[in-house]
Structure 1
Amino acid sequence: MTTAFHPADGHLHASAAFEGQGSCIAAARDMAASFLSRMRTEHSVAVSQRALELTRLVVSELVTNACKYAAGPVLLDLRIAGELVEIQVWDSDPVLPMARAAEAGRVGQHGLEIVMAVCQGFETTREPVGKRITARLALTDDPPGHVAQRRR
């Protein structure tokens, strides 16, 4: 794993490259938590505990899928974008993920559904090699456009 932190370009973000092994999932979760903790303490970014835990969850689910379905490296980029944390995961598999239809007896394979339920934004993009998944999470507990408000 390599990480980089780039405040000089006007954006608060961090990047890491992982080998795509199972152990990278925990490392990616830890990197995300460390990034948000640094944003809170060093840059006075408002980050709730809920946002930190949801970020860990989303990173875990996206990196798990990358390790499971794509051979090779996984890239993780985290960026503060206004009142959101933007999580981007790149892998070498060009097939875009799709949430599965509800099945009463299905065990597992709910990760993408979970990610989409907790995020304020989600998109997938094919890249020249592989794909990039982008998820955006609110940094505070009651953001504009929060999931509970969208259902009304």
Structure 2
Amino acid sequence: MVVSELMTNAVKYGSDPIELVLARADDMVTVTVRDGGTTLPVPRPADPCRVGQHGLEIVAALSRDVDIRREPPGKRVTARIALS
């Protein structure tokens, strides 16, 4: 779900190039998605009446932490997911 949400956001709101990196270390999986867009995603408060735009909210709920940063040529979103 985390990979799907981050990749969907990169395709929908970012720009090329898009890169996905998955890494495992001990009891954590790190999902990193980079894209060429410069606009950083902003977490929104939970709103059950809002239709759509819950991707980052879902990623945050499923992850131990989420890091969003600008880096040349665009941005990077990294989610760390506990396996245990």
What is the TM-score normalised by the length of structure 1? 0.52
Match of 1:102 among 18, 35, 46: 46
Please state if 1:73 is matched with 2:17. Answer: yes
What is the TM-score normalised by the length of structure 2? 0.91
User: Which residue does the alignment assign to 2:67?
Assistant: 123
- Comparing 122-131 and 97-106, the one that deviates more: 97-106
Give the number of aligned pairs.
Answer: 84
Q: 1:58 deviation in Å?
A: 0.2
Query: Which one has a larger percent strand, Structure 1 or Structure 2?
Result: 2
Structure 1: state its 5+ residue gaps: 1-56, 141-152
SS across alignment from 1:137: strand
Q: 1:63 deviation in Å?
A: 0.3
Q: 1:102 deviation in Å?
A: 3.3
Query: Which one has a larger percent helix, Structure 1 or Structure 2?
Result: 1
User: Which residue does the alignment assign to 1:61?
Assistant: 5
Please list the CA deviations of residues 99-147 of structure 1 after superposition, one character each: whole Å capped at 9, or x if unmatched: 112335311110100100110121011102100100000112xxxxxxx
Please state if 1:111 is matched with 2:38. Answer: no
Asked if the contact 2:14–2:36 (Cα under 8 Å) also holds between the matched residues in 1, the reply is yes
Asked if the contact 2:33–2:76 (Cα under 8 Å) also holds between the matched residues in 1, the reply is yes
User: Which residue does the alignment assign to 1:84?
Assistant: 28
Q: 1:82 deviation in Å?
A: 2.0
Q: Name the Cα RMSD after superposition.
A: 1.2
Percent identical = 51
